[in-house]
Amino acid sequence: MSRLLVTVYVFCFAATSAWAAATGIDRAAMDTTTPPGTDFWQYANGAWVKAHPIPADRSSYGVGPIMVEEVNRRVADLIQKAARDAKAGSDAARIGDYYASFLDEAGIEARGMAPLKPLLAKIAALPDRTALAGYLGEGLRADVDVMDATDLYTDNIFGLWTSPAPDDPAKYVPYLLQGGLGMPDREYYLSANEAMKKTRVQYIAHIVAMLKLAGIADADAKAGRIMALETKIAATHASRADSNDVQKGNNPWARADFSTKAPGLDWSAYFAAAGLETQSRFIVWQPTAITGISRLVASEPIADWKDYLAFRLIDHFGDCLPKAFAAEHFAFYGTALEGTPQIRARWKRAVDATNAALGEVVGKLYVEKYFPPEAKAQLEVMVANMIAAYNKRIDALAWMASSTKAEAKRKLASLKVGIAYPDKWRDYSGLAVVRGDAFGNLQRAEEFEYRYRRARLGRPVDRGEWVMTPQTVNAVNLPLHNSLNFPAAILQAPYFDPKAPAAINYGGIGATIGHEISHSFDDQGAQFDSTGRLRNWWTDADLKQFQEAGAALALQFDAYKPFPDLGVNGKQTLSENIADLAGLTASYDAFRASLGGKAAPTVDGLNGDQQFFLSYAQSWCGYLRPEALRQRLIGDGHAPAQYRALTVRNLNAWYAAFPIEPRDRLYVAPDKRVQVW
């Protein structure tokens, strides 16, 4: 789904105090025993990786996690300071109370199961399938997570997203998305891979443990039935590849269509409970799941649905229940799925929870303290330079027809780029935060977000909206808005340093800016025109050329195999790989143009091009535990960092910079180097 609604830039760049010296290149991080043409990522980062084992509370380590850690420390300090100075009922009081409530483990322990019991009793009392449909509708949430690596995911059976319609980008419409799984992807339930079989056994044990902690009888038998139902739900889900296909996802359904296209669920009861009864039109992104799950609501025993919903409820609120629940939740999702041996400190999880509930309140404080206006001005110049570089590249494309070029340039001209923070801040006055009620605060925050999203339906689209908070270390493209968000937290050293040489900034933040711009022209984004409307603006010949280039890039990534039984899926990661390649290429052009015809200064023995490419490769310094790497390969639209750094193989300038010879493993013959834009 993310290919339409959001395309997120997932990265892993370094941020230790010693990382960036005067040049911004960490010489000590480099493994110069590895030739750059053998493994450029290892050459740029190998010594750092060897010297920095993954901490016990993390599934990955590198520049990104280190920077996130630093941002979280800043945020924790800001929240605590705001809470000390806060007036009752103010936004500062809200974030302080939310954070303190989540930290109050003693209070959570004392309340035990009390917050959960009324909800479990409600599930147990459901008398029939109409009531079941109403309960499912009440649970519909806008809880799809754009901070996740690529996809919009919900553990409710369906998720709601509000966004412009592909055929009418002027107004917000409701999207229904597949959900309902406790594990990350359908493949975890359906694959015959031995590692997946082992994970399924661990998941069943997790279900049993959570049910027993909640005092639910006959846990073993119920866990088997819950797993069987989730497996049936998984079988209805669209594959990752299909979910990433705009054409397969764009399925407008009228309200009346649901009873005929997806019989089984009482849709009148469902939509009434969800507050969507007046909506006449939906986009059903994965119709096989909507139809299949609806059928399961009718066919599977209602007792099994009750057991399933009870478990989903317990699992969802695990962090706001006594310590044993949080520990068991982590034992599966942290250790079994990602190989992480130790749960993160409570304060770190409290920061995450507060950011999720009151993100822009925290973000406003973050920007005031950590993002100077002069940085925004410099970045606006870089963005303008990047767009100019794209315009020149489009002009130079010999294979592209003038009509296609004209629309591509209109798309660039109308692109709305948000730097650091939104133009206007959200109003959180309607969110009730009660100090000492972590469970209730989470409930109310999710309901508040759902009401906020639902209230936009039918209204004109705000192209200036943000889906990331300023304190998020990431960036995003919104194809239906033809807009980009670059949060403040990513716009800082070592990724961006106002005092660094141009080569460093263009190899770092420039490539990121270029990546997000190019998502408007990747295999999915290129299907939207300058207004955000889904329509074909390509000639047949142009589209064929573009698709052939994408296919060649997919084959390049298919060859990367970190495990004997599992490798990178070039098609699954194609949008991100195109964005990496086009973004890096445009950033290199912008870097050279910024020199005004002069040679870049040599710094620490590195010429300008060497600094540029090493800055890019070191921006991908990071690695994952084997379990987490497997999860990334199966369910993520991004290739792992060590392969994204190898995008340089397709740029002629890289070969001259180091130099790279035909005998080198990464060498690609000139006529085989992929150029998309």
Q: Which domains does the chain have, with CATH numbers?
A: 2-77+371-428+458-672 (3.40.390.10), 104-344 (1.10.1380.10)
pLDDT in tens, 139-176: 999 865 443 333 456 889 999 999 999 988 899 999 99
Q: Which whole number is the average pLDDT over 656-670?
A: 97
Instruction: Say what the pLDDT of residue 145 is.
Output: 46
**Does residue 12 carry a pLDDT above 50?**
no
Instruction: Say what the pLDDT of residue 9 is.
Output: 42
pLDDT in tens, 573-632: 999 999 999 999 999 999 999 999 999 999 999 999 999 999 999 999 999 999 999 989
Compute the chain's Rg from CA coordinates: 25
* Distance in angstroms (rounded) separating the CA atoms of residues 87 and 307: 44
pLDDT in tens, 310-359: 999 999 999 999 999 999 999 999 999 999 999 999 999 999 999 999 99
Instruction: Say what the pLDDT of residue 259 is.
Output: 96
Of 392, 386, 387, nearest to 412 by C-alpha is: 387
pLDDT in tens, 204-246: 999 999 999 999 999 999 999 999 999 999 999 999 888 888 8
* Distance in angstroms (rounded) separating the CA atoms of residues 676 and 434: 53
Residue type, 280: S
Percent of the chain's residues with pLDDT above 90: 82
* Distance in angstroms (rounded) separating the CA atoms of residues 519 and 526: 8
* Distance in angstroms (rounded) separating the CA atoms of residues 366 and 79: 10
Q: What is the mean pLDDT of the chain?
A: 92
Residue with tokens 């698709």: 547
DSSP letters of 362-388? HHHHHHHHH--HHHHHHHHHHHHHHHH
CA angle 184, 189, 195 (to 5 degrees): 85
Q: Which whole number is the average pLDDT over 489-496?
A: 88
* Distance in angstroms (rounded) separating the CA atoms of residues 555 and 561: 12
* Distance in angstroms (rounded) separating the CA atoms of residues 677 and 674: 9
How many separate helices (H) and strands (E) can be counted in the chain?
30, 10
**Structural tokens at position 234:** 């998984």
**Does residue 94 carry a pLDDT above 50?**
yes
Instruction: Say what the pLDDT of residue 88 is.
Output: 86
Query: Which residue did the predictor score with more confidence, 403 or 12?
Result: 403
**Structural tokens at position 121:** 């009793």
